[in-house]
Chains A and B, each alone.
Chain A
Amino acid sequence: MSEQTTTPDASGLPEGQTPSAPEPEQRSDNPLKRFFASPAGRSVGLVVALLLLVAVGAITAGENFMNLDNLLVIVRYAAVIGVMAIGMTFVITAGGIDLSVGSVVGLSSVIATLGAIQTASEGFWPLMVFVAIAVGVITGLTNGLIIAYGKVVAFIATLAMLVGARGLAEIISGRSTQVVNNRGFLDFFRGDFLGIDWIVWIFVVVAIAGWFLLNRTTFGRRTVAIGGNPTAARLAGVNVKRHMVYLYMISGACAGIAALITLSRTTAGTSTHGQLAELDVIAAVVVGGTLLIGGRGTIGGTVLGVMLFAVLVNVFTQNNLSSSWQLVAKGIIIVVAVMLQQRFANREGATST
């Protein structure tokens, strides 16, 4: 993608002063509007939506909804999608997409639960952790190399990985379910710290690390710059290709971590883990306010997006509503959220001729 060059057309169509002319320096006068168009303001919108949903839950399901145990149920549910969504936020912020994360969860869960791995070194469980994450990193590396150096569009390259990794998972597992019988692994991942499950802590740590990486480091700056204008980033000396590879590796690593969480929740590895998860992940990232075209990403928004969907699922379940209606509600949320974002985005960009 870094190869895109704007070939100066022979007509010099934006002749002389045309579109690069000084633009009226206009800003919205309404402070409220301005606030809601700011990054914090967009998150406020999400928080309000989340609170509304919680209110609906409290009214319809009462005590069953409003208790600490249920909160943990929600966050545990959110952790799998959430960890993947943090990785995806990086990829999307840089203008890419990773459709393969769900399949990578499946592949990773299968390889990490192979008998040989579970029992190696007398059942040394960190090996499973290492293997799961390594599988994710390697698939991400493959995606990244194909996209950055093979110049295949990200959508296609990761679509191919989505299909291929799922098939590989089926071959390796023989389509059978591989039960997790490594005690050490289960004891750790199903345990808690300060009364909160380790898997929830993992989500929290990944989210904080992701926020820090995106907002406070040179790595994050490169990510945003590449998403905002890959040519400009390249011409300023940023190694765009190498960076894109790193980003897909991060997304893969997150999928590997998500596989570990899935293993602890289901106590089994199978090739079907993570099916269609990529859609939930992308939906959460986009609803959170990260631009699908790149150039703007928010980890906080992604977390809120993930929580919004997790609470939604919980409210529907508590009220014994069919999961089909959940899907309809999710669809509506995605459309409304993106429409609202575009309205703000248009207002911001209204200065261009």
Chain B
Amino acid sequence: MIEDDHPVSLLEVRGLIKSFGAARALKGVDLDVHAGEVHCVLGQNGAGKSTLIKTLSGAHQPDEGEIRWNGEAVTIANPVAALELGIATMYQELDVVGGLSIAENIFLGHELARGGVISRREAAKRTRELMQRLGHPDLSPSREVGTLSPANQQIVSMARALSHDIKLMIMDEPSAVLDSEEVNNLFRVVEELTNQGIAVIYISHRLEEIERIGDRLTVLKDGASVGSNLQVSQTPTRELISLMTGTDIEHAFPPRVPIADDAPVVLEVENLTLAGVFEGVDLSVRAGEVVGLAGLVGSGRSEILETIYGHRKATAGSVKVNGKKLKPGSVSSAVSADVGLSPEERKSQGLLLEEPIYRNATLSTFTRFAKAGLLDEAAERRATEEQMKALELRPAEPNRITRTLSGGNQQKIMLARWLIHGTEVLILDEPTRGVDVGARQEIYRLIRDLAEAGTAILIVSSEIEEVLGLADRTLIIADGHVLAERSTADIDEHGVLDLVMKGSAA
């Protein structure tokens, strides 16, 4: 860790800790930001970047640790307090109001008014100044924001931040919505800001961007800063990847069992295409095989799973299960072919949170328990209880409301649903998101057991480590294409990251 050569940092963060329930999102983050520098924050998904941003912008309160601003300890109670200090945050999802003009968006919430009457001329004048400053004098203050490109909407978002007297701008993956020309403009703007003495915290996982604009960087892994305030120019890429991936194996993966040579191909995907998202995906999974998809968020990996399952309707290509073609865009067709999906967003896509556990566990099988359309809830409860015991989900109370369970137990209910149903193909999207370490091991073991019993398993995880630990084969996805296919015996995390980063830079 390189020591500061500046006398006073604009922002100093020491030992920041933040938990949500039992899960620790931040486990000790240290960071210094100087006026006028671009400080990059780097880390894999789940490393704690978003939580860190939200804590600095006042959306979350830290449990422990210190934030110093211009050398003084401060509490950032809410986003307004952050703005008053001079910290503005540009979130990745654009937070502009499409139906309002550029000027109206910029001064939303702090309208320039005299006696309650909005002074449009003053707002227009100030807007023109801000647009000038951001290198976009062509954007008229009266233009409706909804008609602008994402890149220009981002400019508006930045202008809004600059309309306050800010000292620090936090940008959360600002380049994600931009094409390469727009990225160049973004970098010009960032340079402009730093020339004016404004510090920028730049979140990204694109290494080449960091090399281009970063002065210093901090690497997060598993909620802790594993390298703070490193000089970008003195930190080779190799070292960055090492820091991001870490060497401490936190997860022990169950041993793989070699797949029989004559194991039949269960899932066969050919030339699957979803226009504008991914294209020409070919993959196959044999009985007893675990196949992983590795790629960055936005690479199309989750969409591929959802399209195979029929949640999205493929524009081209076919999905076959045991040689039988599934109807595109029909989940029912997939489910009746014994394909199961545990979706990425458990709460919004998977569970009925206000309902008892057993109704979630039997959501795809309650008709099977029923006789002539009459529910047999006792049988449903029995089947659920049986699975809860098998999955070591305690207490085994099928009547409990699902909301009250931990993330790990909710995930087990999703698995129980498909165990009760019985599956030929099980698709798991982020099976351990929000799941604590103990429950993770159990879920890993369960996935392995299922594979050994002959289920074909397709898995996506943001944690490359997890994909490599579980899968027999890994497909590397970037920008909606299958970039490479590797047996997990032949590749390590560095190799995958290398491929992924190169692929997404193209």
Interface residues of A, Cβ cutoff 8 Å to B:
5-6, 8-27, 216-221, 224-225, 228-229, 231-239, 295-296, 348-349, 351-353
B92:A228 contact, CB within 8 angstroms: no
A236:B364 contact, CB within 8 angstroms: yes
Most buried by B among A5, A219, A220, A233: A5
Confirm or deny: B68 has a beta carbon within 8 angstroms of a beta carbon on chain A: no
| Chain B, interface residues (CB within 8 Å), range | 35 or more
Q: Say which residue of A24, A235, A296 sits within 8 Å of B343 (CB atoms).
A: A235
Confirm or deny: B216 has a beta carbon within 8 angstroms of a beta carbon on chain A: no
Q: Say which residue of A9, A13, A26, A237 sits within 8 Å of B336 (CB atoms).
A: A237
Residues of B within 8 A of A18 (CB): 20, 25, 50-51, 434
Given A8-B345, A10-B297, A233-B363: A21 touches B350 (CB 8 Å cut-off): no
B351:A232 contact, CB within 8 angstroms: yes
Most buried by B among A12, A16, A216, A295: A16
Residues of A within 8 A of B20 (CB): 17-19, 21, 353
Q: Roughly how many angstroms separate A82 CA and B298 CA in the complex, as a whole number?
A: 50
Q: Which residue on chain A has the smallest CB distance to residue B19?
A: A21
Confirm or deny: B442 has a beta carbon within 8 angstroms of a beta carbon on chain A: no
Q: Roughly how many angstroms separate A350 CA and B373 CA in the complex, as a whole number?
A: 35
A22:B298 contact, CB within 8 angstroms: no
**Sampled A-B contacts (29; CB under 8 Å):** A5-B311, A6-B348, A8-B298, A8-B302, A9-B92, A11-B173, A12-B50, A15-B25, A15-B48, A15-B50, A16-B223, A16-B462, A19-B20, A20-B346, A21-B20, A21-B21, A21-B23, A21-B407, A25-B404, A218-B367, A218-B375, A225-B352, A228-B352, A229-B349, A231-B343, A234-B331, A237-B336, A237-B364, A295-B354
Residues of B within 8 A of A224 (CB): 352, 355
Q: Say which residue of B302, B349, B366 sits within 8 Å of A221 (CB atoms).
A: B366
Residues of B within 8 A of A220 (CB): 375
B309:A235 contact, CB within 8 angstroms: yes
Given A18-B20, A216-B374, A218-B375: A229 touches B176 (CB 8 Å cut-off): no
Most buried by B among A5, A220, A232, A238: A232
Given A218-B367, A351-B404: A11 touches B50 (CB 8 Å cut-off): yes
Residues of B within 8 A of A234 (CB): 311, 331
A12:B434 contact, CB within 8 angstroms: no
Most buried by A among B93, B332, B349, B417: B349
Q: Roughly how many angstroms separate A142 CA and B46 CA in the complex, as a whole number?
A: 47
Q: Roughly how many angstroms separate A5 CA and B407 CA in the complex, as a whole number?
A: 21
List of 6 A-B pairs having minimum Cβ-Cβ separation, nearest first: A16-B46, A20-B434, A22-B406, A237-B335, A21-B20, A17-B23
Q: Say which residue of A15, A22, A235 sits within 8 Å of B350 (CB atoms).
A: A235
A16:B341 contact, CB within 8 angstroms: no
Confirm or deny: B172 has a beta carbon within 8 angstroms of a beta carbon on chain A: yes
Confirm or deny: B211 has a beta carbon within 8 angstroms of a beta carbon on chain A: no
Confirm or deny: B24 has a beta carbon within 8 angstroms of a beta carbon on chain A: yes
B403:A351 contact, CB within 8 angstroms: yes
Q: Roughly how many angstroms separate A302 CA and B364 CA in the complex, as a whole number?
A: 29
Given A15-B46, A22-B406, A221-B375: A235 touches B352 (CB 8 Å cut-off): no
Q: Which residue on chain B has the smallest CB distance to residue A25?
A: B404
A236:B363 contact, CB within 8 angstroms: yes
Given A6-B345, A10-B173: A15 touches B352 (CB 8 Å cut-off): no
Confirm or deny: B39 has a beta carbon within 8 angstroms of a beta carbon on chain A: no
What 0/1 pattern do residues 292 to 332 of B give for CB contact below 8 A with A? 00000110001100100101100000000000000000011
Confirm or deny: B113 has a beta carbon within 8 angstroms of a beta carbon on chain A: no
A246 to chain B minimum Cβ distance, whole angstroms, is: 13
Q: Which residue on chain B has the smallest CB distance to residue A349?
A: B403
Confirm or deny: B22 has a beta carbon within 8 angstroms of a beta carbon on chain A: yes
Residues of A within 8 A of B302 (CB): 8
Q: Roughly how many angstroms separate A295 CA and B352 CA in the complex, as a whole number?
A: 8
What 0/1 pattern do residues 44 to 69 of B give for CB contact below 8 A with A? 01111111000000000000000000
Q: Roughly how many angstroms separate A53 CA and B206 CA in the complex, as a whole number?
A: 68
Residues of A within 8 A of B434 (CB): 14, 16-21
Given A10-B298, A12-B462, A22-B436: A17 touches B332 (CB 8 Å cut-off): no
Given A21-B434, A235-B349: A11 touches B364 (CB 8 Å cut-off): no
Residues of B within 8 A of A239 (CB): 332
Confirm or deny: B410 has a beta carbon within 8 angstroms of a beta carbon on chain A: yes
Q: Roughly how many angstroms separate A229 CA and B375 CA in the complex, as a whole number?
A: 20
B274 to chain A minimum Cβ distance, whole angstroms, is: 12
Residues of B within 8 A of A13 (CB): 50, 91-93
A230 to chain B minimum Cβ distance, whole angstroms, is: 10
Q: Roughly how many angstroms separate A228 CA and B352 CA in the complex, as a whole number?
A: 6
B406:A11 contact, CB within 8 angstroms: no
Residues of A within 8 A of B50 (CB): 11-15, 18
A11:B93 contact, CB within 8 angstroms: yes
Given A11-B92, A353-B20: A229 touches B352 (CB 8 Å cut-off): yes
Given A12-B45, A17-B407: A22 touches B297 (CB 8 Å cut-off): no
Confirm or deny: B412 has a beta carbon within 8 angstroms of a beta carbon on chain A: no
B51:A15 contact, CB within 8 angstroms: yes
Q: Roughly how many angstroms separate A13 CA and B93 CA in the complex, as a whole number?
A: 9
Confirm or deny: B484 has a beta carbon within 8 angstroms of a beta carbon on chain A: no
Q: Which residue on chain B has the smallest CB distance to residue A229?
A: B352
Confirm or deny: B370 has a beta carbon within 8 angstroms of a beta carbon on chain A: yes
Q: Which residue on chain A has the smallest CB distance to residue B334?
A: A237
A10 to chain B minimum Cβ distance, whole angstroms, is: 4
Q: Roughly how many angstroms separate A285 CA and B21 CA in the complex, as a whole number?
A: 37
B349 to chain A minimum Cβ distance, whole angstroms, is: 5
B359:A22 contact, CB within 8 angstroms: no
Q: Which residue on chain B has the smallest CB distance to residue A231?
A: B349
Q: Roughly how many angstroms separate A310 CA and B345 CA in the complex, as a whole number?
A: 45
Given A22-B436, A221-B366: A296 touches B373 (CB 8 Å cut-off): no
B48:A232 contact, CB within 8 angstroms: no
A217:B352 contact, CB within 8 angstroms: no
Residues of A within 8 A of B298 (CB): 8, 10
B92:A10 contact, CB within 8 angstroms: yes
B168 to chain A minimum Cβ distance, whole angstroms, is: 19
B404:A20 contact, CB within 8 angstroms: no
A8:B344 contact, CB within 8 angstroms: yes
Residues of A within 8 A of B341 (CB): 235
A348 to chain B minimum Cβ distance, whole angstroms, is: 8
B382 to chain A minimum Cβ distance, whole angstroms, is: 17
Given A8-B344, A231-B349, A237-B364: A218 touches B22 (CB 8 Å cut-off): no
Residues of A within 8 A of B367 (CB): 218
User: Which B residues between 428 and 479 are near A, CB-CB below 8 angstroms?
Assistant: 433-434, 436, 462
